Amino acid sequence: MPGTFSLPASRTEVVLEEIRRGILTRELLPGQPLVEAELAQRLGVSKTPVREALKVLSNSGLVTFSPYKGASVCVVDAALAQSVYDVRLVLEPEAVRRTVELRDPALLEDAADALKEASAAIADRDQAELSLLNRRFHRALYRGCGNPLLVNILDDLKDRAALISIVGWEANPSWRREWTEHKAILAAAKKGDAEGAADLLRQHIAEFLERIVEAISE
């Protein structure tokens, strides 16, 4: 994270993104205490936007609050990975199936753009950017499902899923394999094969979960 930066209208949003990126780049390590005064000094702001940002990140699953230790970076374990990906396995393939059935080409274009950018991020071995592009790809394929509540539930998991993916890639950098799987899912979606896209996505999520649980449990 840079030491200082120019603040736009919302200080909290800027601080939020800086801390989120710090966590996803592993500059802020799992279990590391997040002291408001230290972060405020580092980012050149008061403690108030830092405090607000940490609350938001706590709700999204990147930050943990303890009554004795205060805020710290969330630690990913097998139980967390299992719980997050269990929900994705149940809900996301169905959301993607519905999106494909509605045939909105703009959503598929966004997914294709994310896939293209991910290819460059793989070459640069930029895990944080890959995680964000991974999230963008998946969201493009479920956000058009026609059910705002279903989209919100999946959106609420996005930070936890991003953190879990970073941990998984550190143990097993399977970016290219996942990129290839994304390509197959998108190809099915472009053909209008809703069931095929959903099945491929379900397999994609299940296999990643198996890899991450095995890696964390070792």
Domain with CATH 1.10.10.10 in the chain: 11-73
Q: For 45-103, give the DSSP string.
A: S-HHHHHHHHHHHHHHTSEEEETTTEEEEPPP-HHHHHHHHHHHHHHHHHHHHHHHHHT
Alpha-carbon torsion (148, 163, 5, 32), positive or negative:
positive
Closest CA to 143 of 114, 168, 121: 114
Tokens of residue 50, six digits = 């830092």
- For residue 171, the model assigns a pLDDT of 80
- Give the predicted TM-score (pTM) of the model: 0.84
Fold of 78-217: Four Helix Bundle (Hemerythrin (Met), subunit A) (1.20.120)
Taking alpha carbons only, the member of 195, 214, 163, 133 closest to residue 60 is 163
Q: Where in the chain is the domain with CATH 1.20.120.530?
A: 78-217
Q: How many CB atoms lie within 10 A of CB 172?
A: 13
Task: Give the integer Cα–Cα distance in Å for 98 and 147.
Answer: 9
Q: What are phi and psi of 85, to 5 degrees?
A: -75, -25
Answer yes or no: CATH 2.60.40.10 is held by domain 11-73. Answer: no
pLDDT in tens, the chain (218 residues): 555 444 444 788 899 999 998 998 889 999 999 999 999 999 999 999 999 999 999 999 999 998 888 999 999 999 999 999 999 999 999 999 999 999 888 889 999 999 999 988 888 888 778 888 999 999 999 999 999 999 999 999 989 998 888 888 888 888 899 999 999 999 999 999 999 999 999 999 999 999 888 888 76
